[in-house]
Amino acid sequence: MKKTPETLRSARWFAPDDLRSSGHRSRTMQMGYAAEEWSGKPVIAILNTWSDANPCHAHFKHRVEDVKRGVLQAGGFPLELPALSLSESYVKPTTMLYRNMLAMEVEELLRSHPVDGAVLMGGCDKTTPGLVMGAVSAGLPMVYLPAGPMLRGNYRGKALGSGSDAWKFWDERRAGNLSTDEWVEVEAGIARSYGHCMTMGTASTMTAIAEALGLTLPGASSIPAADSNHIRMSSAVGRRIIDMVWEDLVPSKILTDAAVGNAVAVAMATGCSTNAIVHLVAMARRAGVDLTMDDLDRAGRTTPVLANIRPTGDTYLMEDFYYAGGLRALMAKLSPRLDLSVLTVSGQTLGETLEGAKCFNDDVIRSLDNPVFQEGSLAVVKGNLAPTGAVIKPAACDPRLHQHQGPALVFDSYPEMKAAIDDENLDVTPDHVLVLRGAGPQGGPGMPEWGMLPMPKVLLKKGYRDMLRLSDARMSGTSYGACVLHVSPESHVGGPLALLKTGDIVRLDLKARRIDMLVDDGEIERRRSEWRKPADKAGRGYGWMFAKHVRQADTGADFDFLETRFGPSAPEPDI
Ligand code: FES
Ligand code: MG
């Protein structure tokens, strides 16, 4: 059903001739607006995750004006509503602790305000899933506006990639190969414009997923933040959301099973961040699509990696990806694996939005018959250490570790691990398996990005750069190495990882998708009977609520009570 000025949601606040509505009109006039500026027009919430503490979104302070310009041009009334910024750079112990808080904030902002549609401004890692999860639950027409990647980094003429090169150069520094002055040059060159990380880390993966779900304008996710095309895209978003309100193009018409399938395929073809798994599952479940770890493993086995972008590729960055044709070019090449009939926010089908998409560099965006990797973006392993699953990125680890067994070296906390790892007398060999536990959704809390445990200094000095690592934490999307992550159930709730001891043999058999401890069942049961649940870290406040309600990683780490199946949403507010 098409909307009319009388059936707009915002009309419930503004139209009636009663005292309440009079108050709403009077307060809008208090801001300097005349009735003709809002009356009968779609009111658009612009959810802006700008903050002074978020360098990835620095341009959003101004870019929001371009969105407003588009809204006004198309006959709407824009209202900027700031939302939690989730700065990956500063927020500790992890922004993941607050992804669900942002999702809840978004849903309630939209529910409680007199708005008809929403523009979601995000990009830095968890802002994408947080905004999308909340807006899906709110159910109003919405468009996602991705922040865009920052420009390539630069160090002495060499391109630097966010995260990935920081880890690499830091290991060289720890091995004694880089002076302090040289390191400062790396610091100054690695993030030299606003925009999100420009590797295919969590941010670029998640904005690509948002586009593949049909939630952005065509091509929007690849435009660098500092490119003037980004400004024009922003005003186009402002214009488009007005049509979407009149068309009543709500997210449930876009986020179908098929759209989620497209997003999974695109994620794999980008060589996606391991974090994509947990966010994809959470977003899909909000849309009522039951995406499982097995579905994701199947997609990982059968989808070639086409984006030759670091850290999975070894040369290019997001700026190169944009110049090569961006995500539209990638999706055109992947189109035999996509359902092109799905609707997008543009009002066109995915197939229509890909018409005319061209690739200008076949090395940056590979074809299905010449991929970067035939498979292996992500794999899901299970076994007596991870009964409901764990995640590994085979393409980003030393192939000698794909089949591996060695003795565990177990750390119960991040500080304990950090104190030991640079100890020159640490009893560790390249065959050891480094284990960190107590870092899952409840135990972390919030699954901090501690899963790429640093290489022990003694091994770095001997020239080793990879070893098997295992944890219930996550790792940054720009990380790499043989890291088995998101072990579920986590140790804090009594998952078998809690029962592992230093010296036990751990075996990874990637081909069989197994991760096991070679400890006999009787001994495991004996240890289980002695195990006691550790106390939650927070005894009050948000952290307390988080630990009580967060679900395990394999089901998306959403709050149980925010999940769609938990119960019906509150009705529209009484006014
Ligand atoms: Fe914001 Fe990487 S720090 S995307
Ligand atoms: Mg990150």
Q: What is the position in ligand 1's atom list of the atom closest to the CA of 57? A: 1
pLDDT value of position 478:
78
pLDDT value of position 406:
98
What's the half-sphere exposure (Cβ side, CA atoms, 13 Å) at 111? 17
Contact between 210 and 284 under an 8 Å Cβ cutoff? The reply is no
CATH H-level superfamily of 379-530: IlvD/EDD C-terminal domain-like (3.50.30.80)
pLDDT value of position 43:
98
Report whether residue 217 contacts ligand 1, using a CB cutoff of 6 Å: no
State the distance between the two ends of the chain, measured CA to CA, in whole angstroms. Answer: 24
pLDDT value of position 261:
98
ipTM: 0.91
Q: What is the pairing mode between strands 386-392 and 483-488? A: antiparallel
Q: How far is the CA of 202 from the centre of ligand 2 (A)?
A: 6
> Residues, the chain, total?
575
Q: How far is the CA of 196 from the centre of ligand 1 (A)?
A: 5
Q: What is the pairing mode between strands 468-471 and 483-488? A: parallel
Q: How far is the CA of 188 from the centre of ligand 1 (A)?
A: 16
- How far is Cα 224 from Cα 334, in angstroms, rounded to an integer? 22
- How far is Cα 99 from Cα 86, in angstroms, rounded to an integer? 8
The phi, psi pair for 53, rounded to 5°, reads -100, 15
Cβ burial, residue 158 (10 Å; 0-12/13-18/19+): exposed
pLDDT value of position 163:
85
The 3 state secondary structure assigned to 444-458 is CCCCCCCCCCCCCHH
- How far is Cα 220 from Cα 113, in angstroms, rounded to an integer? 27
- How far is Cα 33 from Cα 28, in angstroms, rounded to an integer? 6
Query: Residue 391: beta bridge partners?
Result: 380, 485
Sole residue written with tokens 């035999």: 336
Amino acid occupying residue 423: D
Report whether residue 374 contacts ligand 1, using a CB cutoff of 6 Å: no
- DSSP notation for 351-376: HHHHTT---S-TTTB--TTS-SBSS-
Amino acid occupying residue 335: S
Report whether residue 230 contacts ligand 1, using a CB cutoff of 6 Å: no
pLDDT value of position 480:
82
Residues in Cβ contact with 32 at an 8 Å cutoff, skipping those fewer than 6 apart: none
The 3 state secondary structure assigned to 72-85 is HHCCCEEEEEECCC
Contact between 497 and 491 under an 8 Å Cβ cutoff? The reply is yes
Longest CA–CA separation in the chain, Å? 79
Contact between 242 and 441 under an 8 Å Cβ cutoff? The reply is no
Contact between 468 and 434 under an 8 Å Cβ cutoff? The reply is yes
Ligand 1: which of 88, 207, 221, 474 to mutate, judged by most atoms within 8 Å of the beta carbon? Answer: 88
Report whether residue 162 contacts ligand 1, using a CB cutoff of 6 Å: yes
Report whether residue 89 contacts ligand 1, using a CB cutoff of 6 Å: yes
Query: How confident is the model over 94-130, as pLDDT tens digits?
Result: 999 999 999 999 999 999 999 999 999 999 999 999 9
Report whether residue 53 contacts ligand 1, using a CB cutoff of 6 Å: no
- How far is Cα 173 from Cα 454, in angstroms, rounded to an integer? 13
pLDDT value of position 567:
95
Q: How far is the CA of 430 from the centre of ligand 2 (A)?
A: 27
Residue 95 has which token pair?
């922004």
Ligand nearest to the CA of 199: 1
Domain ranges within the chain, ordered by starting residue: 5-20+42-151+193-354, 161-190, 379-530
Cβ burial, residue 180 (10 Å; 0-12/13-18/19+): exposed
The pTM score is: 0.96
How many C-beta atoms lie closer than 10 Å to residue 189's C-beta?
A: 17
Regions of the chain with pLDDT less than 50: none
Q: Which residue's CA is the nearest one to ligand 1's atom 2?
A: 197
Ligand nearest to the CA of 122: 1
Residue 474 has which token pair?
């996550």
Q: Which residue's CA is the nearest one to ligand 1's atom 1?
A: 124
Ligand 1: which of 96, 125, 190 to mutate, judged by most atoms within 8 Å of the beta carbon? Answer: 125
Residues in Cβ contact with 152 at an 8 Å cutoff, skipping those fewer than 6 apart: 159, 160, 161, 198, 317, 319, 320
Q: What is the position in ligand 1's atom list of the atom closest to the CA of 478? A: 2
Report whether residue 88 contacts ligand 1, using a CB cutoff of 6 Å: yes
Query: How confident is the model over 276-290, as pLDDT tens digits?
Result: 999 999 999 999 999
Residue 172 has which token pair?
């060289």
- How far is Cα 241 from Cα 237, in angstroms, rounded to an integer? 6
